């Protein structure tokens, strides 16, 4: 069984902010990350517990080169010069060897900014940290291109109770949050994404938007999306297990393995404008609305 130890990483992000990251399940960085995470994420099927994070990070020792690709799962905290926590990040970085596609695919599993630190441009600094940390963790060259993918709550799929609980805890409603990510360059991946259950006690989550952040082309190569999601599902979601036969993970991976056409990227801004004007009703998902609003 492969054993690989990844040292903790520290990078200076400028503006008096630094990122401290670890791939070690016993690191104090995980504990600090989780303290903020536990307050920021409340919806039951999107939440990971501390034991789940530890299990994912432990896979760095055994799954570094699983599935014919190189991986590293990291947790990180952003802090100021005095050591106060400003936010946190958890992501999986995967080296992908596909022609005409980015070198690294990142599943940005969770990112949060502490309420007292908002309004300082920390989300953009967090994205910079993710790209730099992914490159270092995978021992990639300085010119490696990184694609960042994220899950986001779909305002058309949440129940009123879920939306209220999430807004109360985060301080932002789902439409405002999507608008922030749209300014970061996020676009909807036109693929019927479902997050497999994070544990046997949870359900598959079909109320999410899958998005790419500042992707370098107008569509995502199907092979890259296959490799990325296979690694993400098996490591970050299923904790090294294969998942149930015919389950959400297996179905999506099989779909992408057979697919030849890339997955189009749909701009968020036209769909958000429709939601805010009250013309976003009648759609089953934000992805469907984004496709219609973009004239696709």
pLDDT band at 170 (very low <50, low <70, confident <90, very high): low
pLDDT of res. 77? 98
**Residue 258 to residue 295: CA distance in whole angstroms:** 26
Beta carbons within 10 angstroms of residue 85's beta carbon: 17
Query: Can you give the pTM of this predicted structure?
Result: 0.93
> d(Cα 39, Cα 31) in Å, to the nearest integer?
13
Q: What is the DSSP letter of 120?
A: S
Range with lowest mean pLDDT among 66-70, 130-134, 169-173, 233-237: 169-173
Give the residue from 122, 110, 107 showing the smallest Cα distance to 46: 110
pLDDT surpassing 80 at residue 45: no
Strand 17-22 to 9-14 pairing: antiparallel
Instruction: Tally the C-alpha atoms within 13 A of residue 254's C-alpha that lie toward its C-beta.
Output: 7
Q: Quick one: CA torsion of 259, 265, 266, 269, rounded to 10 degrees?
A: 160
Res. 127: pLDDT tops 50: yes
Checking if the pLDDT of 3 tops 70, the result is no
pLDDT above 70 for 169 = no
> What percent of the chain shows pLDDT beyond 70?
96
Which conformational region is residue 177 in: left (phi greater than 0), alpha (psi within -120 to 50 degrees), or beta? Answer: alpha
Distances (CA, A) of 179 to 220, 228, 272: 21, 25, 7
What is the widest separation between alpha-carbon atoms in the chain? 56
Two tokens, residue 46: 């999107």
The pLDDT-based confidence of 135 (bands split at 50, 70, 90) is very high
3: its two tokens: 């054993």
At residue 25, does pLDDT exceed 80?
Answer: yes
Q: Rounded distance, CA 250 to CA 252, Å?
A: 6
């Amino acid at each position: 069984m492969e054993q690989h130890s990844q040292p903790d990483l520290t990078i200076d992000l400028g503006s008096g902010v630094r990122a401290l990251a670890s791939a070690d399940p016993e690191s104090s960085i995980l504990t600090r990350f989780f303290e903020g995470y536990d307050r920021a994420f409340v919806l039951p099927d999107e939440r990971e517990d501390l034991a789940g994070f530890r299990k994912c990070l432990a896979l760095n020792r055994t799954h570094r080169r699983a599935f014919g690709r190189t991986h590293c799962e990291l947790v990180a905290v952003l802090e100021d010069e005095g050591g106060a926590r400003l936010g946190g990040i958890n992501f999986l970085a995967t080296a992908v060897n596909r022609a005409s596609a980015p070198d690294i695919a990142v599943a940005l599993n969770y990112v949060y900014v502490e309420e007292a630190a908002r309004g300082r441009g920390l989300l953009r600094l967090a994205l910079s940290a993710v790209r730099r940390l992914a490159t270092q963790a995978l021992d990639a060259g300085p010119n490696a291109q990184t694609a960042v993918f994220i899950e986001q709550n779909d305002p058309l799929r949440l129940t009123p109770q879920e939306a209220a609980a999430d807004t109360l805890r985060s301080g932002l409603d789902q439409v405002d949050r999507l608008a922030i990510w749209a300014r970061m360059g996020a676009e909807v991946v036109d693929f019927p994404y479902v997050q497999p259950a994070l544990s046997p006690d949870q359900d598959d989550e079909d109320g999410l938007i899958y998005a790419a952040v500042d992707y370098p082309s107008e569509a995502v190569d199907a092979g890259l999306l296959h490799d990325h999601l296979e690694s993400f599902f098996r490591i970050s979601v299923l904790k090294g297990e294969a998942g149930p036969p015919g389950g959400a993970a297996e179905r999506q991976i099989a779909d992408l393995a057979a697919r030849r056409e890339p997955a189009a990227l749909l701009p968020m801004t036209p769909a958000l404008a429709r939601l805010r004007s009250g013309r976003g009703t009648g759609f089953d998902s934000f992805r469907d609305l984004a496709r219609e609003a973009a004239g696709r």
